[in-house]
Structure 1
């Protein structure tokens, strides 16, 4: 059969993977935002307010350029092609949505609500490790 060369999907490590904007909920109590989501939704926005829709099992992230009493800092990576994270353990615990394993969701923009929305009933990927 022979060797087949592995080709990186996005060029640089941690770069655009071509999967589009994704948000991950982590067991550690953080929310990961991939590079595509940071570029599309958090350009110039360093803070986020978080919303929960328990009935429809959705989470909303409202990107902000200013800090508010209820906002969290979006810690963007200094490494090119990497996304960011939000340390929001209290939010995840309050609504009992801390996952057993890191779980990734497709992120979409809700124009009416001005929120980045993830549907907790439709995970994109569940990682084997935490």
Structure 2
């Protein structure tokens, strides 16, 4: 089936990490991007569109320079070497992606889909709190 773009309901008109790009799905319903992810994929891009591939159990993020009806604002930390977060609870709830415990995944670029992709079947770390 492939990726299905999430469409928002109601919408509207330094240090490099040694572990590389990582994305966390948080129990709060937000998504966290580590510094390496922000540095590699979000230079000059302050918005992201979210995608879900139920068949392959993957989530994709498409960085954008401009806001769209379906994009979320990427809130980048002003602290050096810190990452960013996206408050996208509607997306997370729509596809039942809110974990019981915050879970981190390796992030990889899919050049065919033009998405940063995480594989939900292969978590990198599950946090205890």
Q: TM range, normalised to the smaller chain?
A: 0.7 to 0.9
Q: Deviations over 1:45-88 (max 9, x none)?
A: 00000000000000000000000000000000000000000000
Moved beyond 3 Å, runs of 4+: none
Deviation at 1:17, TM superposition (A): 3.5
Contact 2:25 2:31 in 1 (8 A): yes
SS of 2:74's partner is: strand
Q: Name structure 2 gaps, 5 residues minimum.
A: 1-13
Q: Look up the match of 1:69.
A: 69
Q: Tell me the distance in 2 between the aligned counterparts of 1:61 and 1:89.
A: 14
SS of 1:61's partner is: strand
Q: Look up the match of 1:23.
A: 23
Contact 2:23 2:118 in 1 (8 A): yes
Deviation at 1:16, TM superposition (A): 3.3
SS of 1:52's partner is: strand
What pairs with 1:76-115 in structure 2 (closer than 5 Å)?
Answer: 76-115=76-115
Contact 2:26 2:101 in 1 (8 A): yes
Q: Tell me the distance in 1 between the aligned counterparts of 2:41 and 2:101.
A: 25
Q: Name structure 1 gaps, 5 residues minimum.
A: 1-11
Rg: which structure is higher? 1
SS of 1:70's partner is: coil
RMSD of equivalent CA atoms: 0.9
Q: Deviations over 1:67-115 (max 9, x none)?
A: 0000000000000000000000000000001000000000000001000
Give TM-score, length-normalised by structure 2: 0.88
